[in-house]
């Protein structure tokens, strides 16, 4: 049996099965064993409850509304590595060509394990570790204090608490102390400056970070309520320290455009995503409820074109099938082959 084929019987240790079908009649907390001692971030006190926002609209946009993936569509290597990351509480570094489904993996994990809204941290050349952890509006706090002093004197009037000016970003929110892990998508780490992978090592190893602005204020206010990356949600921070209880499910995507430091790679599990097979492409199309007419022919043409140009993202197939089946364009039109040719250009091909 090859590394990509699924076994005849599902291994008992698997929790994630790669289909995106939500767990039924069980919860991740009942299935996931305790972490290894060297990855145990559990702390004294009660972790935050299971009240995590959902984002079904975004998940449906990414994965489709129909649960068309079956065990036969799943990739053995992918399922093994995701489960290993769950057990070991390690980040998963996912490499592959654009459109191979790297970022969609985070949404499939979240849907299947019922872990709520995916925290998506999009990386740019300007991204720093702190920009992923939290924002502190120092100017806003100064302005609020000045407005209070300039206004009429009111008995008992107090300055707004410092927590009103702190917002956790996606990385910081993922490390709040919850019973169940959040899914954190670190998207396109290739784009970051060279220091960011090094900087991430501390939080991936320690499972915590300090917010100095809150720590300095801890004598007056040991507990601060701050905003989070989840719209409308807040969290209480004690003594300025955010410390996880359940290490998040971290999916880091890379197009393989750069080398990462050995120390960073050593702390990650690594998965290379292959291009979707014809059967997987058909399941992707079905998941988005696209009309089955012309589906088979276009999938065959897409696979041939993908092989000829050295790779194409699956969403280009969805674009073509939508045009062919929505009534927007008739496939028997003489201009249809030219339109498909334009849609399916190689990604690095320049226009003429």
Domains in the chain and their CATH numbers?
28-133+165-272 (3.40.50), 278-343 (no CATH)
Q: Average pLDDT in the 22-38 region?
A: 89
Q: Average pLDDT in the 78-100 region?
A: 93
Contacts by 30-38 with C-beta closer than 8 Å and gap 24+? 32/86, 32/87, 33/87, 35/87, 35/88, 35/89, 35/247, 36/88, 36/89
Q: Average pLDDT in the 83-94 region?
A: 97
Q: Is the pLDDT of residue 253 over 90?
A: yes
Give the helix/strand (H/E) hosting 299.
Answer: helix 295-309
pLDDT of residue 352: 38
Q: Is the pLDDT of residue 351 over 70?
A: no
Q: Average pLDDT in the 132-155 region?
A: 81
Q: Which two tokens stand for residue 23?
A: 């767990």
Backbone angles phi, psi at 256, to 5 degrees: 75, 25
Lowest mean pLDDT among 169-178, 230-239, 253-262, 320-329: 320-329
What's the N-to-C CA distance of the chain in angstroms? Answer: 46
Q: Which two tokens stand for residue 17?
A: 């099965």
CA distance 310 to 266: 30
- What would the DSSP string read from start to end of 140-155? HHHHHHHHHHHS---T
User: Please, are residues 28 and 180 in contact by the beta-carbon 8 Å criterion?
Assistant: yes
pLDDT interval class at 50 (50, 70, 90): low
Q: Which two tokens stand for residue 290?
A: 């696209």
Q: What is the pTM of this model?
A: 0.86
CA nearest neighbour of 25 among 102, 114, 143: 114
pLDDT of residue 254: 94
The per-residue pLDDT of the chain, averaged, comes to 85
pLDDT of residue 4: 56
CA distance 105 to 269: 14
pLDDT of residue 169: 97
Q: Average pLDDT in the 8-28 region?
A: 84
């Amino acid at each position: 049996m090859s590394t990509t084929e699924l076994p005849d019987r599902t291994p008992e240790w698997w929790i994630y099965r790669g289909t995106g079908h939500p767990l039924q009649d069980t919860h991740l907390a009942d299935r996931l064993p305790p972490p290894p001692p060297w990855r145990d971030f559990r702390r004294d006190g009660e972790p935050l409850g299971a009240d995590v926002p959902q984002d079904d609209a975004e998940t449906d946009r990414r994965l489709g509304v129909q649960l068309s993936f079956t065990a036969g569509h799943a990739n053995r290597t992918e399922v093994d590595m995701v489960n290993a990351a769950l057990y070991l509480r390690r980040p998963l570094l996912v490499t592959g060509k654009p459109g191979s489904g790297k970022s969609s993996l985070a949404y499939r994990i979240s849907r299947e394990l019922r872990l709520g809204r995916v925290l998506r941290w999009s990386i740019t050349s300007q991204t720093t570790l702190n920009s992923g952890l939290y924002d502190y509006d120092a100017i806003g706090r100064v302005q609020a204090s000045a407005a209070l002093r300039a206004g009429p004197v009111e008995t008992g009037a107090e300055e707004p608490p410092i927590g009103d000016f702190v917002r956790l970003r996606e990385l910081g929110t993922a490390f709040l102390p919850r019973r169940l892990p959040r899914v954190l998508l670190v998207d396109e780490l290739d784009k970051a400056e060279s220091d960011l992978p090094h900087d991430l090592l501390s939080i991936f190893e320690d499972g915590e970070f300090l917010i100095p602005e809150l720590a300095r204020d801890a004598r007056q206010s040991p507990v601060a309520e701050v905003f989070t990356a989840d719209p409308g949600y807040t969290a209480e921070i004690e003594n300025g320290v955010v410390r996880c209880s359940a290490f998040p499910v971290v999916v880091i995507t890379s197009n393989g455009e750069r080398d990462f430091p050995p120390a960073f790679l050593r702390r990650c599990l690594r998965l290379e995503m292959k291009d979707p097979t014809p059967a997987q492409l058909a399941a992707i199309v079905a998941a988005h409820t696209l009309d089955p007419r012309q589906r088979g022919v276009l999938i065959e043409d897409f696979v041939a074109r993908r092989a000829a140009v050295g790779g194409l993202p699956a969403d280009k197939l969805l674009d073509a099938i939508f045009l062919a089946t929505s009534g927007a364009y008739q496939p028997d039109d003489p201009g249809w082959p030219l339109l498909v040719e334009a849609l399916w250009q190689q990604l690095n091909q320049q226009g003429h």
